[in-house]
Chains A and B, each alone.
Chain A
C-alpha cells in the first residue's frame, strides 16, 4: 500500500496525532479524553504511519520495541498507586500539587496513573498489530 499522498500526509499527521493524543491524555480529568483514548489515538497514528511506509520504517522511528512500553506503563501506574503509601495514606489516594503548572494544568498522582495507562495501551496495541503484520 505505497501511496505518495498517504506517505506525505503521514509525515505531518504523525506528530499532529501524537500531540493530539497527548492533549487528550492531559485534559482527561476535566473534559472528554483520558489515558485510554489518548493511547488508542497515539497507536492509530503509528499504525497509519506503518500503513504508508511499511512496518519496518515505523519500528525504526520507534527505536525501541513497542513491547518495552508495557512494563514502563505498568511501572508508572503502579508507582502512582504505591507513592501515597510513603506519605502514610492508603494506596491510590490522589495527591495533588497545590498550584497548577502552566500549560499542563493541575498535576496529581492520577495523571501519572493515566500516563501509565496511556503507555500500556500504546504498547499493547502496537505489539499485537506489529507482531501480526511482521511475522504472522
Chain B
C-alpha cells in the first residue's frame, strides 16, 4: 500500500526534470498511473469483499508512536477505488482539456501529488500520518485551485480555500493529539477498541469539537461551505476530481472512520445531524438560484456532502449503508456532470445557463452522459441514484419515532431541490433551440467525452445490477463504519411501499420545480442580497480585522529605530526579571561572606567609574565608544583576577573588535550629535539603572543559592577520560555541547551574510537612482 502512495509522489517529483517530455509526446503515459493503481486496488476487491483486511506497518518515528501504518478495509478500499478510478477518467480528460497549456507538466505534477496524498489519507491507520496526508491534500489543492495564477480571483479563491481548510487542519491536529494522548495510541484500529474510555472521558466534547471542525471545513459544511464555490475557479478537471469526488469527501471519510471511535453518543449524532441537515437544505436551495453551471454543481455538491454528514449523524445501520452507497452514487454522477460542464465551457466558452440551450444537436454523446448523470442524481428508477435515494429514505423513516417525520421531510425537501439542480446542470443546456452562435461547435476529442460517458454508464449498470457492488459497499464499507453486521441487500424493487412513494413524489415535484424555475440573473441578484449576512462575509471580515490588527501590532514594535528596539527589549527583560525577583522574596546581603576587596579591585572599580562618567557626559561619539571599551577591558581584568583565562581572552578580543566595528560605523555617520530631550534622557537613565540594579541583585542572589558542584565535578572528572581534553571550558564547547556550538557558528554565519547582503543590496538600489 505504501507503494501505491509513493508511486504518485515519485512520478510527481520526476516531472520536475522530465516535464518537458511529458508536455509533448509522452503525455499519454500519465493517465496510466491512476489506471495502474486502479487495477491494483481492483485486485484487492475479492479479498476485501470476503472480509480480509490488509495491514502494513513501517516504523517511522516509533519513539513518538508515529509510524507509516496502512490498513485496507472496506471503507478504505471504496475511497481508494474512487480516487484512482475517477482519477483515471480525469487524467484522460485533463490531458486533452489542457492540451498545449504552458504549465501542462506542472498541472499533472500537482494532480499526482494530490492523488497520492488522498490515497495516503484513506489508507493511513495512524492518525498522525493521516493528518500529514490530510494537510498535503490541502496544499496540493491550493496549487490546483490557483492554477490560473495570472488571475487575481483564482489566487484569492485558492488562498480562501487554503486558509479555511488550514484552520480546520489546525483544529484537527489539536483534536487528534488530544485523542491520541488520552487513548495512549495513535493507531486507528487500537483506538476503536477504546471507544468506551474515549467517549466517557471528560475532555471528549473538546476533542470531538476540534476533530469535527477539521472535517467540516474540509467537507465544506455550513458555515465553512463558502470556499467550495470559490474553488470553482480551478480548471474544470480539478473541480471534477477534487471538489466532487475526492478531496471534499476526505472530511466525510474522516467522520466515517472516526464513527466507531467517537460516535454513538448524543453529542456526535446530533451535531452531525444538525450541521449536515442544515447544510444539505441550505445549499440545495442555493443551487436553484445560480446561473453558472459550475456554481450549481458546487452548491449541489455541498448539499450532497451535507446529506452524507447527516446520514453519518443518524448513525443507524440503514443510514450507514445509505451513506456508503451514496458516496459512490454521488461521485459517479457529480464527476460526470463536472466533466460535461468542462466540455460545454471548452466548446462554447460560457457556462451561463441563460445562454446555453439545444446543445444536444451538436454534442450528442455528451448529452447522453449528462442525461444519465442527471437521471441518476434525480434517482430515476433503474439508475444507481434510485437505490441511493431509497436507502436515504429508509434511513430517515427508521430514525427514532419522534424525529422520523421531520427528518424525512427534510430529506425530501433537499432531494426535490437536488433533482431540480441536477436537471438544470445536466439537461437544461442540451434542450430547447440551438442558438446560431453554437451551430458550428463540433464534438471534442474522444478522450474528453468518453470518460464522463463511461462514468455515467457505470451509474446505470450499478443501478440495474446492484449486486456488482453490493457486497463491497453494504457489507464491508458499512461494516468498517458500523462495526457490526450490516448485511442489507441492495434491491431494485422493494414493492410498493412508503419509500417508493416518497421516491416517486420527490421525482415528480423535483421535475415540476425544474420546469417552473427558469434561471435568470434577477434571481441571482436577489439571492446575492443576502450575502451581507452570509458566513463568508463575516469570516472574511474577521480575517481582514486580524490582518489590520497584526499590521498595527507589527508597526508598533518594528518602528525601524535601533534605539527603540533596545529600549523595548531591555524594558521587557527588566519587567520579567524584576517580577521573578520580587516573587522570590526579599534579598539580604551578608557582607561577612564576601571576601574583602583587594587594592587592585578598588583601582579597577575607580577606572570603571571614571569611564562611565565620561560616557554619560561626553559630547563626542568616539570618546564614548572608547570609554565603553575601557569598561570592557576592566571586566576582562576581573576575569583574570578570578582565574577565568578563557573568558578573559574572549572578552578581550571581542571588546577590541566591537570597538573597531563601532568606530567604523560611527565614522560613516554625520558628525553632529543630536541630543535627546531631557525627558527621554531621564527615561533612558531610569531604564538603564533599573537593568543594572536587577542584574546586580541577581548576581548577589546567586551567591546564596545552594552551591552544587555536581555538574562541574562531572565535567572535571570526565573531560579527560571521555573527551581527552584538559581544558574543561573548551571540552564543553567542542564536545559535550558541540551541537550547540555548531548552531552558534551557523547563527554567526547568518549574521555575517545578513550584514553583507544588507549593505550590498542597498548599494545596488542607490546605483539605480
Contacts and interface: CB of A to CB of B under 8 A. Distances in A.
Given A78-B742, A133-B664, A31 B727 contact: yes
B665 A136 contact: yes
A136 B668 contact: yes
Contacts of A127: 752-753, 755-756
Contact of A124 (B665, B725, B726, B752): B752
B735 interface: yes
B741 interface: yes
B723 A40 contact: no
Interface in B545-561: none
A113 B751 contact: no
A114 B745 CA distance: 11
A123 B668 CA distance: 23
A36 B759 contact: no
A96 B725 CA distance: 11
A131 B760 contact: yes
Given A29-B725, A29-B727, A77-B745, A37 B646 contact: yes
B668 A37 contact: no
Interface string A46-65: 01000100000000000000
Given A32-B646, A67-B756, A94-B735, A129 B727 contact: no
Q: How large is the interface on B (under 10, 10 to 19, 20 to 34, 35 or more residues)?
A: 35 or more
B755 A132 contact: yes
A92 B738 contact: yes
Contacts, number: 136
A35 B734 contact: yes
Contacts of A92: 735, 738-739
B763 A120 contact: no
Interface stretch (B254-262, B329-337, B649-657, B701-709): B649-657
Given A125-B657, A132-B661, A113 B752 contact: no
A99 to B, nearest CB: 13
B742 A81 contact: yes
B486 to A, nearest CB: 52
A129 B661 CA distance: 6
A36 B724 contact: no
B763 A129 contact: no
A74 B657 contact: no
Contact of B741 (A70, A96, A117): A117
B731 interface: yes
A26 B271 CA distance: 70
Contacts of B753: 67, 70, 127
Interface in A66-117: 67, 70, 73-74, 77-78, 81, 92, 94, 96, 106, 108, 110, 113-114, 116-117
A116 B733 CA distance: 13
A55 to B, nearest CB: 10
Nearest to B731: A29
Contact of A30 (B646, B649, B665, B726): B726
Interface of A is mostly: helix
**Residue from A51, A81, A106, A135 with most neighbouring chain B CB atoms (10 Å):** A135
B668 to A, nearest CB: 5
A58 to B, nearest CB: 13
B661 A128 contact: yes
A67 B752 contact: yes
Contact of A136 (B657, B664, B733, B739): B664
B607 interface: no
Contacts of B755: 127-128, 131-132
Interface in B703-749: 722-727, 729-731, 733-735, 738-739, 741-742, 745-746, 748-749
Contact of A114 (B645, B668, B734): B734
Contacts of A106: 724
B660 interface: yes
B671 to A, nearest CB: 16
A61 to B, nearest CB: 18
B660 A47 contact: yes
B664 A129 contact: yes
A131 B657 contact: no
**Residue from B654, B665, B725, B730 with most neighbouring chain A CB atoms (10 Å):** B730
Given A40-B654, A129-B660, A132-B759, A74 B745 contact: yes
A110 B763 contact: no
Given A37-B650, A47-B660, A131 B759 contact: yes
Interface in A21-35: 24, 28-35
Contacts of B742: 77-78, 81, 113
A31 B751 CA distance: 30
Interface in B187-223: none
A18 interface: no
B759 A94 contact: no
Given A44-B657, A47-B657, A131-B756, A33 B738 contact: no
A32 B653 CA distance: 14
A43 interface: yes
Given A29-B726, A106-B724, A131-B760, 6 more contacts: A29-B731, A110-B734, A124-B748, A129-B664, A131-B756, A132-B664
23 contacts: A28-B727, A29-B731, A30-B725, A32-B729, A33-B727, A35-B734, A41-B653, A44-B657, A51-B660, A70-B753, A73-B745, A96-B724, A110-B738, A113-B734, A113-B741, A114-B730, A124-B748, A127-B755, A128-B661, A128-B755, A132-B661, A132-B664, A135-B759
Which 10 interchain pairs have the tightest Cβ spacing? A40-B653, A32-B645, A29-B725, A124-B752, A30-B726, A110-B734, A127-B752, A120-B745, A34-B730, A124-B748
Interface of A: 24, 28-37, 40-41, 43-44, 47, 51, 67, 70, 73-74, 77-78, 81, 92, 94, 96, 106, 108, 110, 113-114, 116-117, 120-121, 123-125, 127-129, 131-133, 135-136
Interface of B: 645-646, 649-650, 653-654, 656-657, 660-661, 664-665, 668, 722-727, 729-731, 733-735, 738-739, 741-742, 745-746, 748-749, 751-753, 755-756, 759-760, 763
